[in-house]
Amino acid sequence: MTMQLTPEAFAARKRRNVWIALGLVAFMVLLFTTTFLRMMHNQKAAREAQGLVPAASAPVAPAAINGAVVP
């Protein structure tokens, strides 16, 4: 069955399709960015857990910065 669209219906459908496309693109961008941010966060947490980098929240003692042995 072929639908006979009026010019008005055709224009409305076209505008809806453009907005659906924009919405999907926006969703993809958000999903990509979210995944990227979470990966960064997880990698940082893994490095902290392995002791490769100091934990972000733990204050670094001045003695440790100067290379002195902390008693």
Question: Should residue 15 be labelled a site residue for other proteins when binding is judged by CB under 8 A?
Answer: yes
- Count, residues near other proteins per rule CB under 8 A: 22
Question: Should residue 50 be labelled a site residue for other proteins when binding is judged by CB under 8 A?
Answer: no
Min dist. Cβ of residue 28 to other proteins (A): 11
Which of 9/61 has CB closer to other proteins?
9
> Among 25, 31, 45, 46, which residue sits at the site for other proteins (rule: CB under 8 A)?
31
Residue 13 · residue 5 · CB < 8 Å: yes
